[in-house]
């Protein structure tokens, strides 16, 4: 994960990480200030809501602080933070998903004018947001943000095969939902 002050030597971060794992709040603040921006940038791409992403960034670092004893300072803090952030974002999508309501059947895209096309886009977005959170998060990163499977695998902690399966399931489920709405890609 790139950092705002990414030019710090690696050794510094290992020492900082060790101090953080021992419960040093000043070390945690340094890590927070160094990583809040990349963590936010990662989360906002998944949840697509800046206000929620800010809250989730704090939630991510709260989880990180709570589990600081489990942190291995020989490993990069950024990768760990990104993994925690991904899980926090997925947890958020689980609750946000309950609020999504799909519209009734839409007109055919062939005969659609501008307003209808907008309605179709909204319906596609709604159908996508109604997917299970784990599928939605992975599909957002793979299909919308077009990130490599390796990067998504590292961020979620799941093997690449699992990521590919989830993307496949997300597309299949989306196709089913769109077909129910009368939208055929």
Binding site for another protein (CB under 8 A): 25, 29, 32-33, 36-37, 40-41, 44-45, 48, 50, 54, 57-59, 61-62, 65, 120-122, 124-125, 128, 139-140, 143-146, 171, 174-175, 178, 183, 185
The answer to whether 134 and 90 are in contact (CB under 8 A) is yes
Sign of CA dihedral 55, 61, 62, 63: positive
* Least distance between another protein and beta carbon 166 (Å): 14
Rounded to whole angstroms, the Cα distance separating 15 from 128 reads 43
Residues 6+ apart with CB under 8 A from 24: none
Q: How far is the CB of 14 from another protein (least distance, A)?
A: 22
Q: Which is nearer to another protein, 124 or 154 (CB)?
A: 124
CB of 73 to another protein, least distance (A): 20
What distance in Å separates the CA atoms of residue 167 and residue 145, rounded to the nearest whole number?
Answer: 13
Of 39 and 74, CB closest to another protein: 39
CB of 173 to another protein, least distance (A): 10
Contact yes or no for 88/43 (Cβ under 8 A): yes
Nearer to another protein by Cβ, of 26 and 79: the residue is 26
CB of 85 to another protein, least distance (A): 13
Smaller CB separation from another protein, 102 or 144: 144
CA torsion through residues 122, 127, 133, 135, sign: negative
Q: Which two tokens stand for residue 141?
A: 């990163």
Phi, psi of 103 (to 5 degrees): -75, 175
> In this structure, what DSSP letter does residue 98 have?
T
Compare residues 14 and 171 and give the one whose CB is closer to another protein. Answer: 171
């Amino acid at each position: 994960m790139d950092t705002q002050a990414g030019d710090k030597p690696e050794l510094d971060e290992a020492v900082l990480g060790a101090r953080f794992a021992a419960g040093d709040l000043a070390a945690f603040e340094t890590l927070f200030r160094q990583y809040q921006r990349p963590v936010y940038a990662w989360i906002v791409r998944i949840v697509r809501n800046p206000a929620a992403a800010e809250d989730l960034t704090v939630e991510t670092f709260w989880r990180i602080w709570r589990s600081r004893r489990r942190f291995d300072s020989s490993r990069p803090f950024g990768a760990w933070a990104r993994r925690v952030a991904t899980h926090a974002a997925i947890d958020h999508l689980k609750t946000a998903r309950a609020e999504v309501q799909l519209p009734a059947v839409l007109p055919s895209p062939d005969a659609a004018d501008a307003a209808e096309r907008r309605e179709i886009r909204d319906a596609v977005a709604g159908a996508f947001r109604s997917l299970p959170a784990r599928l939605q998060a992975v599909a957002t990163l793979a299909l919308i943000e077009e990130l490599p499977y390796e990067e998504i695998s590292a961020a979620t902690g799941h093997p690449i095969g699992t990521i590919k399966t989830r993307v496949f399931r997300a597309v299949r489920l989306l196709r089913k939902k769109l077909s129910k709405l009368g939208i055929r890609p």
